[in-house]
Copies of this chain bind each other. A is one copy, B any other.
Amino acid sequence: MTKDINARHTEKMRKIKAARDKMMQTKTDEKGLIIVHTGAGKGKSSSGFGMIMRCIAHGMPCAVVQFIKGNWVTGERKFLTERFADECRFFVSGEGFTWETQDRERDIAAAQNGWKIAKEQILDPEIQFVLLDEINIALRYDYLDIDEVVDFLLHQKPAMTHVCLTGRNAKPELIEAADLVTEMNLVKHPFRDGIKAQNGVEM
């Protein structure tokens, strides 16, 4: 039984790798990357946000789809929606999508809606960079199907479009499919000393 699961897992990973290798054969010096920021440390979203700023600086139209609210509510969201609405599209997949609600049906609907928007943005030929912020949380809880997401990224994403997916506990299938994976690890955190989240640093 476990052996079967392991064998299926190996075969699945082999297929993902083969699809990725096939795609890589067509590579030129530049290509649209599948980028993953994962790990329990800080910097997953803010580094993705930094990439969005680089895109704006280079005149590359871009989009953010935010899968859970919280992280982006204050600083970045305000910054992008108030100052860079023309350069960067900003979407939130359902205001109610938080872990406090414990309303699984609503959370699934919000995640699915976010993924629908994400696909539209990725397929839009005008858009060159799409940040799917905290999508790994939705994948982890199976609110989105990992196979569908990986299949779309490998087979339907336009060749030159970059997609960055953030959130802890990235699924192995996504890491296998990705071009660039960074794990942010927590070495030390001030919360343990009773310091609360602060503007500029966390928000």
Of the stretches A6-14, A50-58, A100-108, A136-144, the one at the interface is A50-58
Contact among B48, B185, B189, B201 for A183, CB-based, below 8 A: B185
Closest to A197 in B: B30
A79 touches B50 (CB 8 A): no
Instruction: Say yes or no: is A29 at the interface (Cβ < 8 Å to chain B).
Output: yes
Instruction: Say yes or no: is A179 at the interface (Cβ < 8 Å to chain B).
Output: yes
Bound Cα distance from A183 to B54, whole angstroms: 22
Instruction: Known A54-B79, A200-B129, A201-B162; judge A181-B187 contact (CB<8 A).
Output: yes
Contact among B74, B180, B201 for A201, CB-based, below 8 A: B180
Of the stretches A37-45, A91-99, A115-123, A145-153, the one at the interface is A37-45
Contact among B78, B162, B188 for A200, CB-based, below 8 A: B162
Contacts of A159 in B (CB 8 A): none
Copies of chain A in the complex: 2
Instruction: Say yes or no: is A156 at the interface (Cβ < 8 Å to chain B).
Output: no
Contact among B175, B179, B184, B193 for A190, CB-based, below 8 A: B179
A42 touches B182 (CB 8 A): yes
Instruction: Say yes or no: is A5 at the interface (Cβ < 8 Å to chain B).
Output: no
B184 touches A30 (CB 8 A): no
A39 touches B195 (CB 8 A): no
B51 touches A46 (CB 8 A): yes
Instruction: Say yes or no: is A178 at the interface (Cβ < 8 Å to chain B).
Output: yes
Chain A residues with CB under 8 Å of chain B are: 24, 27, 29-31, 33, 35-39, 41-51, 53-58, 60, 62, 74-76, 78-79, 128-129, 162, 175, 178-190, 193-196, 198-201, 203
